[in-house]
Structure 1
């Protein structure tokens, strides 16, 4: 027989109080701290905008994690506006209310998710979640002369934390309301954005929104736009103001045929010079960047801190680019290296060998998919690869490799105790024709042979599986141990 858990006294008290909204608002000044989260949750669910507005003004914690509540109950415009109006009243007052402790309005949907759902009534557990230092690591503390503040100090601005995703055609009423409120408050509301994603949005719209954002709060930036190089040059000054950026992803930048060489160099310099201000950059992803060939050194020499992740995908690189990469001072601590889609068929593999040697004690993930690597080139890097003691995942799908080369690779990497996953291409012997049609029976046999070698060498737990693009549709056929086929291989 299942046991029914009766409502706790705190829940009953909150429900009873909200039956009379005017009484609830009047009682906020004397309301126990433990009642605020459950009362706020009920008020949000029932869209009690007057109560929400008043509770924001009396919120007894440093942070109000409204975003996780909006995710649970849907982001109603009325509720959101009520919270903003509560902030409005607070910031308009010259004297700080007695119970006002609010410093951060957190609108991120995945932040502080446990605050509302696991409320236990314990003050200690709530305060540990809502410490100001934990919620706003970028905020600078005001200087104090001794223990007293001299004269009347202006009220500290309230920080609004939000993750922004700017897309063309999307009409975000909540963001529009927030932007308007930030404009009105003129410095009393600081819009802070840890994660910023930009898709195909007119540059004037991007500039208008970023003008309202504290750009030094951005730590994770993704620019997934099909931009001309000149557009990137216009965006570059904003990038340079993101001094606390940890992760940068830049995708699909192309050069116009009408751009002169002088203009091209100017735009590239505008972009690369911004890296001089990014002292905390740890992860750099460059995908489909047309201006990179012959200029990778211009990017690398501007880096101010060691990278943990470097991913250069679907780009053209010269041999000198690879040489500069292998010599760069800030890549010796790489944990993740990706060169997927970079054609390495006609370049010397000595720079890649040097690069693997320099990162052998830190590299954990290596991606060399679709690089056009052949047996002779693979042979050149095997000794360096066998010394990558921290390697956990290695992927080199889409390269024309023979079965003999796969066996040689297995023998060279079997001693890497942390290597757990290897994603390899179907060996050349498993194809029926030059058009790339797989013979699944041969692939099954060769895969079983590799599996047996792993067992014989005492590493049955190391996972090897092949992933091969279909020549007709581009989808991959996986094999581990049975094939997961693309539609082209399915019976009619």
Structure 2
């Protein structure tokens, strides 16, 4: 077995900061921007939810893509991410260099563009972070991009928490569902969820075991 490469000075510095969570939160605004992406990844890896929430609240770029880091969705991690957005909402509509788009699904990004504030490559069809949803025309303070799967007439715990959180903040948050999977025998089993989703945002739709008359609901 090959020897593991030694940690770099940058990695050691980030690990040291994260061990002192109160310190990490207090120095976020002073940390060089080039260190923010690796620090965010380290916070994800180590489950530092308090630091994650603070990083989202003070993220200096318009776009924040975390899908590649969510290898195993944990509700506490989602609560931290959305808690950070709640802090951003408290400061609206005052303009600041803050996150406007939280992308929970992008997983094919190969590198981070620190100047542009988004990942390089064809990560998402909307490459320029804007408040207006590219597909529905909706304009709100913040947008959260996600995939949803409706199975047995309901969402899983992670998706349900996100869905309810967005519904409670519907005047400020646009939940943009780019991929929808319906794995049920009847759309009526999940009509409440479907009525709350902007169907114009859906780029990819997967249906299973549905009757033709159920599909008509997507054209209304």
TM-based fold match above 0.5: yes
Displacement, 1:133?
Answer: 4.8
Q: Deviations over 1:262-281 (max 9, x none)?
A: xxxxxxxxxxxxxxxxxxxx
1:81-480 aligned within 5 A: 81-94=79-92, 96=94, 98-100=96-98, 102-108=99-105, 110-112=107-109, 114-115=110-111, 123-124=114-115, 127=118, 129=120, 133-134=126-127, 139=133, 156-168=140-152, 172-200=156-184, 202-227=186-211, 229-233=212-216, 235=217, 238-240=218-220
Query: Residues 48, 216 of structure 1: CA spacing in aligned structure 2 closer, same or farther, 3 A cutoff?
Result: same
TM-score, normalised with respect to structure 2: 0.81
Whether contact under 8 Å (2:68, 2:108) holds in the other structure is yes
Whether contact under 8 Å (2:106, 2:124) holds in the other structure is no
> Aligned residue for 2:78?
80
Separation in 2 of the partners of 1:125 and 1:90? 20
Displacement, 1:212?
Answer: 2.7
Q: Deviations over 1:226-282 (max 9, x none)?
A: 32x44344x1xx335xxxxxxxxxxxxxxxxxxxxxxxxxxxxxxxxxxxxxxxxxx
Question: Alignment partner of 2:184: what SS?
Answer: coil
Displacement, 1:40?
Answer: 1.3
Question: Alignment partner of 1:61: what SS?
Answer: coil
> Aligned residue for 2:25?
25
Query: Is 1:36 the equivalent of 2:29?
Result: no
Displacement, 1:181?
Answer: 0.8
Displacement, 1:26?
Answer: 1.0
Separation in 1 of the partners of 2:119 and 2:74? 29
Question: Alignment partner of 1:163: what SS?
Answer: strand
Q: Select the structure of larger CA radius of gyration.
A: 1
> Aligned residue for 2:55?
55
Separation in 2 of the partners of 1:4 and 1:232? 53
Separation in 1 of the partners of 2:177 and 2:127? 16
Displacement, 1:15?
Answer: 1.0
Whether contact under 8 Å (1:190, 1:213) holds in the other structure is no
Give the gaps of 5 or more residues in structure 1.
141-154, 241-492
Whether contact under 8 Å (2:93, 2:141) holds in the other structure is no
Separation in 1 of the partners of 2:92 and 2:106? 32
Query: Residues 62, 201 of structure 1: CA spacing in aligned structure 2 closer, same or farther, 3 A cutoff?
Result: farther
Question: Alignment partner of 2:127: what SS?
Answer: helix
Query: Residues 87, 24 of structure 1: CA spacing in aligned structure 2 closer, same or farther, 3 A cutoff?
Result: same
Question: Alignment partner of 2:143: what SS?
Answer: strand
Q: Deviations over 1:421-445 (max 9, x none)?
A: xxxxxxxxxxxxxxxxxxxxxxxxx
Query: Residues 230, 210 of structure 1: CA spacing in aligned structure 2 closer, same or farther, 3 A cutoff?
Result: closer
Question: Alignment partner of 1:225: what SS?
Answer: coil
RMSD: 3.1
Displacement, 1:195?
Answer: 1.9
Displacement, 1:94?
Answer: 3.4
Separation in 2 of the partners of 1:184 and 1:202? 26
Q: How many residues get paired?
A: 212
Separation in 1 of the partners of 2:64 and 2:165? 17
Separation in 2 of the partners of 1:15 and 1:160? 29
Whether contact under 8 Å (1:106, 1:161) holds in the other structure is yes
Query: Residues 88, 124 of structure 1: CA spacing in aligned structure 2 closer, same or farther, 3 A cutoff?
Result: closer
Separation in 2 of the partners of 1:36 and 1:201? 45
Whether contact under 8 Å (2:148, 2:155) holds in the other structure is no
Question: Alignment partner of 1:226: what SS?
Answer: coil
Displacement, 1:96?
Answer: 4.0
Question: Alignment partner of 1:177: what SS?
Answer: helix
Displacement, 1:84?
Answer: 0.9
Query: Residues 124, 109 of structure 1: CA spacing in aligned structure 2 closer, same or farther, 3 A cutoff?
Result: closer
Separation in 2 of the partners of 1:89 and 1:205? 35
Separation in 1 of the partners of 2:160 and 2:149? 13
Whether contact under 8 Å (1:196, 1:222) holds in the other structure is yes
Separation in 2 of the partners of 1:79 and 1:45? 10
Displacement, 1:126?
Answer: 6.1
> Aligned residue for 2:68?
68
- Quick one: higher RCO (CA 8 Å, sep 6+), 1 or 2? 2
